[in-house]
Structure 1
Amino acid sequence: MDNPKTANRQRRNGCRLVLFPLPFQGHINPMIQLAKILHSRGFTISIIPYNFPDPSNYPHFTFHLISDGLSELEASKLDTLRLIKHLIAHCVEPFEQCLAQLLSSNDSNYGIGCVVSDAIWHFTQAAADKFKIPRIVLRTSSVCSFLAFSALPTLRERYSH
């Protein structure tokens, strides 16, 4: 049986959060884990994916697919860096349109509390600012990534001469 306090909190907290993960498993999985935690706290979750595991596995979330213009075959032929560059170049407008649609949706009883985006989706800050929505960045990097980034200042100093 559900705890009445929890059920009441979930009914009271109707805030919608929009999550926008980078379309790689190491980014999608942590975003879904965060979505599950936030949903358990009463938030309504909308996810904007490019490619995603079967959305029917996540019945408590709403999905708003946007297109990057690439077929799966075309995307599979690009290396990771080129794919990310393509996605960044081609998703600004679809992302903004999706936010606008969510904000103007008649079936929504509430606005968007914030956007939670992957750190690589830097353009989401401008979109969030445009619609006056707070943005939170989810960094899904490993320890190796943090070590590599922390070495950059030393490498720049050493090799900039």
Structure 2
Amino acid sequence: MEKQEAKSLGRRLVLVVFPFQGHINPMLQLATILNSKGFSITIVHPQFNSPNHANHPEFIFVSLPDGLSESNISPTDLVALISALKTNCEAPFQQYLEEMLKVDDPHDRVACVVYDGFMHFAQVVANNLKLPGINVRTSAVATLLFFAVFPRAHDQGYISFKGIFGV
């Protein structure tokens, strides 16, 4: 019944993936589950380290120009990578979504943008276009526990912000 209801609504979900394997695979797994419930899926990804489209012929894949290459990416400088993706991918993503929103097919309207937490520019674009956005964290449970404990560790003096983020 759920699958029929989703199909009759004709909802398309746009998933924005971060280009590291530990992020791509969980997002594709989520997309597979959502697709099994009747949602149409579009996977938006940077050109750098893009997912294999042949493994998921049921999805539409959209590659965003990112200006990145193996030679100018350091896997140890995550902040620089996230910054480069925001700088290079935000405008093309907005343009793509604007075009999708012009589609007049009520069975294929964008219902929501689901994005990896590192691809935070997707929420900015969703807000600009008045679309709901959902932030998905693909991290391990240990990372989620860290986020839960972090404020308490800071309050008890175990972690300091001095010298970090200009504080």
Q: Which runs of 5+ in 2 are unaligned?
A: 163-167
**Moved segments of 4+, more than 3 Å:** 5-11, 105-109, 154-157
Unaligned runs of 5+ in 1: none
Distance 1:85 1:40 in 2: 34
* 2:55 aligned with 1:57: yes
Residue 141 of structure 2 is aligned with which of 140, 143, 155?
Answer: 143
Does residue 132 (structure 1) correspond to residue 121 (structure 2)? The answer is no
Aligned alpha-carbon RMSD (Å) = 2.6
Summarize the Cα distance change of 1:94–1:136 in structure 2 as closer, same or farther, 3 Å threshold.
Answer: same
1:64-143 equivalences in 2 (<5 Å)? 64-76=62-74, 79-105=77-103, 109-143=107-141
CA deviations 1:10-64 (Å, max 9, x no partner) are 6424111000011111111111111111111111100101132220211110011
Structure 1 SS opposite 2:63: coil
Aligned partner of 2:34 among 38, 51, 57: 38
Change (3 A) 1:160 1:12: closer
Give the TM-score taking structure 2 as reference length.
0.79
Identical amino acids, percent of aligned pairs: 41
SS in 2 for 1:65: strand
- Which one-letter code corresponds to 1:136 in the other structure? I
